[in-house]
Copies of this chain bind each other. A is one copy, B any other.
C-alpha cells in the first residue's frame, strides 16, 4: 500500500541516513523522498512516499517519531492534505509533430523551459495524477530524460 509520511526535522547530520536505513530494514520501498528547507533554516521537512504493508510503515513512523531530531511526524495518508509534485521532461521533437506536442503542453498547462535542436524540455507542477497523465501522453513522442521531485504536501485548512 502507498503511504506518505511528513517529518519536520532539525538539520542534524545523519537524519536522512537513519530514515533511509530504517525503511530498508522493514522492507518498505521508498517511492519518492523530498527533503528541503522550511521557513526556519535550522529545520527541514522530509516527505517520504513508501510502498509497504501497513505494519511496516507504522513501525517506521514510530521509529522516526522516537528520533531526537524529529520535531513532528504526520501520517499524510490519514489526513486531508494538498499534494503537489514537480516534473521536468525532455522529450524528442520531430518537426512534423511539433504542433501536436505543443497542444499537449497547453492542455496540461506545462511550461517550456528549454529547447534544443531535437528536444524540448517542459516543467509541470500538479498532483500525481496530472503528472502521470502528462508522462503517459509524452511517452509515444520519446522521453529522453526526466526528473521528478517526489511528492510534497501540506495539511489542508489553517492547521
Identify the A interface with B (CB < 8 A).
6, 11, 13-14, 16-17, 19-21, 23-24, 27, 29-39, 45, 47, 82, 84-88, 90, 113-114, 116-119, 121, 123, 125, 135, 139, 143-150, 152-159
Interface of chain A, main secondary structure: strand
* CB < 8 Å neighbour of A139 from B6, B35, B39: B39
Say whether A90 contacts B154, CB under 8 Å.
Answer: yes
Check if B33 sits within 8 Å of A135, measured CB to CB. Answer: no
CA distance in complex: A12, B21 (Å): 12
Chain B contacts for A23, CB-based, 8 A: 13, 16-17
Q: A32-B36, A39-B135, A125-B125 are in contact. Are A86 and B149 (CB under 8 A)?
A: yes
A48 to B17, CA, bound (A): 13
Complex Cα spacing A155 to B112, Å: 14
Beyond A39-B135, A39-B145, list 4 extra A-B contacts (CB 8 Å). Answer: A11-B29, A34-B35, A34-B36, A149-B149
Asked if residues B158 and A147 are in contact (CB atoms below 8 Å), the reply is no
| Contact A45–B146 (Cβ < 8 Å) | yes
B36 A116 Cβ-Cβ under 8 A: no
Residues B20 and A158 in contact, CB atoms below 8 Å apart: no
Q: A108 → chain B, closest Cβ, in Å? A: 14
Q: List 21 A-B contacts (CB under 8 A).
A: A16-B16, A16-B30, A20-B20, A32-B37, A33-B33, A33-B34, A33-B35, A34-B36, A36-B87, A38-B148, A47-B147, A84-B86, A84-B88, A85-B86, A85-B149, A86-B152, A114-B157, A116-B158, A118-B158, A125-B125, A145-B154
